[in-house]
Amino acid sequence: MATTITSNGTGKYWLYFLISFVIFMLMLIFLNQWFWVAMPFMLTYLVMALDYM
């Protein structure tokens, strides 16, 4: 009996997470009062990359 593993295409979500993480860190360093603006994007793409959503 063969089992197949299907990929949900989470690679693009990992890329989006890394891009948003870099933006988050830059905003935390240079615009620390506005870092929370990038946080929802970073956390959403992390959850999607981990395939929890």
Residue 35 lies in a domain: yes
User: If you write DSSP's letter for every residue of 1-53 in order, what string do you get?
Assistant: ---------THHHHHHHHHHHHHHHHHHHH-GGGGGGTHHHHHHHHHHHTT--
pLDDT of 1-53, one tens digit each?
655 555 668 899 999 999 999 999 999 999 999 989 999 999 999 999 999 87
Tell me, what's the pLDDT at 5? 54
Report the number of distinct structural domains present in the chain: 1
Cβ pair 31, 25 in contact under 8 A: no
* Site of tokens 């890394």: 18
CB atoms within 10 A of CB 50: 12
* Site of tokens 């299907």: 6
Per the structure, the complete domain to which residue 41 belongs is given by 11-49
Residue 6 lies in a domain: no
